Structure 1
């Protein structure tokens, strides 16, 4: 999930964590005591036995997370879980970085998004929990597992993801005889034709303040601006594929067919007031963006289709959002914490809770575990999408098509800020797309080196 009102601005604590990452092991966290544990699996549950008494603290912003705790404690009554909502996204990360630096108040399990995982792994904040996850690896698509794996070791248990889809207003498409596009070229032609007939309307938007969304477009094009290469990081924001993606979107903005706007309440109201004919969003989009604003779900008849492709016949998707439950290196109960993180994200009863709508007491998540795709709750008709079985028809398959080579850097906050800053100049014709990307490249390389990393281009 990605909380809709979270923007990725600079955080002093996050930048400080980058400085910490430059010291010691800049390329991977060390193994905690959990990595040496010999596990005995309970044949009744299929999960490790744990007979000691323990209390762990879990920082999470998942809706109705108390339901996950209740299920877990039914199976592990001797492990008590103290649930804390420390905020979401940057709010939580700032607090987490602060307690890590102070050494006091560090939670045992912490909810993190994929883009900050390399930062906290390289700063040695997270425990290696490979022994507790390895028996459940086949429950996750490989691209998902890649997001939590460093040097072959696993540092978190994926909870949810956000494969991309193309949301569209069926009534608008029917009225203007539009065809659901399968390629980006088809999408462009329809966007221009639609705007010509409706000069005051937009076919969609470009979120100029959300670099995570922007990079999901790179991801879907099969390119990763940053790649780990042995003991160094290769930065390549000047990749022609990235320039192609951004030039494509700028051409539609320049033509007036696409709204160059910021993510936030006004944008969400525009979506649900019918301002945009389509929306490039993730699997969680219906529950976090459409439903809260639209009190008359029958008005716009949103449907969803597979994301358009850059080349006809391809089947490549990207990811926008998603989270992980990670065990901290500072935890004194790493074994109990690792069992908890694994259990709540793979066990059937937990998955049923996770995929159930938040308004009925569930988590409202698109699960990272593919076992969740088999559940009736997951495959049910979706009222927010005109009762389309969107998960079954689109997103379960889309998850299997996500490009597996994408990686996040240990400096996501810095990268996000530079990317949005430079693209704002490029999209307002103050500099070219190529110059903007070169500026991002130069600044990220300099920053990475200043934090003690080996960086190449």
Structure 2
């Protein structure tokens, strides 16, 4: 398939322009007396982390709103910005940050982050810094992992797959032994997963060189991934239920699904949905296309923004920095949410010497995360990731429902992404 090459106006130029506007919005000082900050987050157990701050800072209290899921938070923030009721602070995934900057939601936080480059993981710094301006305090990176049920694999005499061919064979073996059991699901609603798997295969969906942007979603690398999963779906050896749905939650709990292509943050989510399976899961590196040249995609990763509508931007920046760089917060995050810190000092904390409690049988869990982090690819996200991911969800849902080629769905996504950029006012040559 032909690759569509596009030239867009420089994202950093747009971001720099909005920075001038934001600078005027974020300079006010707090009034005398106690301050209450509203914080939006989807992180599991985030209340326990924030409780550490609230206990130590009686004059700056933080109220957590966890009603917004990670996949929905950008749309909710855009709606809140329009209504004039943004929270003071919010989580955001790295892929959605450019959209929040362009829409004047994420404020400049350079005054608390500008001198921390040497103390921050390089990929996380690059994903939160545009034109020399910091727009989020990086929280963590997300080494991608395969989680699998050791008891089921042992029952069928299967070793953890190290290649995608072995993974496909494991799917066939498990489903043949029990037609109600699947190695995995191909979730049409998880564009982030497909993007990460495509990155592992060598794809870059958005890229930039100077003022030139390229959109290459329907690439050879992405097609390889699409063909692979379409084959497993057509064979019927993987399910097609969507992740984070009640059906999917039940499938994890009852053993219908016996693995998950997740990341370092996955254990607490499995624990929430299948607590009785504690000790039965193992994490390994992703299966590889080329074992001699291992690679992993970017499966998530997030940071904390201060919004442009905060009435207390100074206190909000102080909290955002503490949340992602202090030993107290990072130890709590490691304990309750299994993050792999973007702050390099956090990777030496004692909390990482022990595995997640749900996976106490795997003492090398964080050593594995460090190894995978070394060969995780660098990624550039474009300014309209949310729109592209929405189109992905619709296109792949239709492909599964109608039995149409996954490659065609990728072409649909690419065409929509370019059209959306035109609608947003970018110059495309």
With structure 2 as the length reference, what TM-score do the two structures score? 0.84
Pairing partner for 1:184 from 164, 172, 178: 164
Residue 149 (str. 1) matches residue 129 (str. 2): yes
Q: In 1, distance between residues paired with 2:162 and 2:364?
A: 17
More helix per residue: 2
Residue 321 (str. 1) matches residue 300 (str. 2): yes
Q: In 1, distance between residues paired with 2:166 and 2:216?
A: 28
Q: In 2, distance between residues paired with 1:34 and 1:305?
A: 48
Pairing partner for 2:328 from 335, 349, 355: 349
Q: How does 1:62-141 map to 2 (within 5 A)?
A: 62-63=43-44, 65=46, 67-69=48-50, 71-72=52-53, 80-85=60-65, 87-89=67-69, 92-102=73-83, 104-141=84-121
User: Number of paired residues?
Assistant: 412
Match of 1:244 in 2: 224
Q: In 2, distance between residues paired with 1:429 and 1:72?
A: 51
Q: In 2, distance between residues paired with 1:390 and 1:260?
A: 32
* 2:239 match: secondary structure: strand
Q: Render the CA deviation track for 1:308-341: whole Å, top value 9, x for unaligned.
A: 1121122311232332211223345433332321
* 2:14 match: secondary structure: coil
Q: Render the CA deviation track for 1:365-423: whole Å, top value 9, x for unaligned.
A: 4433343332232331444235212532322322332211x233322332122112222
**Alpha-carbon shift at residue 304 of structure 1 (Å):** 1.0
Q: Render the CA deviation track for 1:29-67: whole Å, top value 9, x for unaligned.
A: 314449999xxxxxxxxxxxx9x9783623232455455
Q: Is the 8 A contact 2:93 2:301 kept in 1?
A: yes
Q: Is the 8 A contact 1:166 1:279 kept in 2?
A: yes
Q: In 2, distance between residues paired with 1:407 and 1:454?
A: 19
Residue 29 (str. 1) matches residue 18 (str. 2): yes
Q: Is the 8 A contact 1:129 1:155 kept in 2?
A: yes
Match of 1:6 in 2: none
* 2:19 match: secondary structure: coil
* 2:300 match: secondary structure: strand
User: CA distance change for structure 1 residues 291 and 334 in 2, over 3 Å: closer, same or farther?
Assistant: closer
Residue 207 (str. 1) matches residue 182 (str. 2): no
Q: Is the 8 A contact 1:35 1:130 kept in 2?
A: no
Match of 1:284 in 2: 265
With structure 1 as the length reference, what TM-score do the two structures score? 0.80
Pairing partner for 2:363 from 375, 386, 389: 389
Match of 1:45 in 2: none
Q: Is the 8 A contact 2:68 2:76 kept in 1?
A: no
Q: Render the CA deviation track for 1:246-274: whole Å, top value 9, x for unaligned.
A: 11111111122211221212112212322
Q: In 1, distance between residues paired with 2:328 and 2:133?
A: 27
Q: Is the 8 A contact 2:109 2:134 kept in 1?
A: yes
Q: Is the 8 A contact 1:355 1:377 kept in 2?
A: yes
* 1:295 match: secondary structure: helix
**Alpha-carbon shift at residue 216 of structure 1 (Å):** 2.2
Q: Is the 8 A contact 2:74 2:386 kept in 1?
A: no
User: CA distance change for structure 1 residues 84 and 175 in 2, over 3 Å: closer, same or farther?
Assistant: closer
Residue 175 (str. 1) matches residue 191 (str. 2): no
* 1:326 match: secondary structure: strand
Match of 2:289 in 1: 310
Q: How does 1:214-293 map to 2 (within 5 A)?
A: 214-231=194-211, 233-263=213-243, 264-293=245-274
User: CA distance change for structure 1 residues 83 and 231 in 2, over 3 Å: closer, same or farther?
Assistant: farther
Match of 2:145 in 1: 165
**Alpha-carbon shift at residue 197 of structure 1 (Å):** 4.1
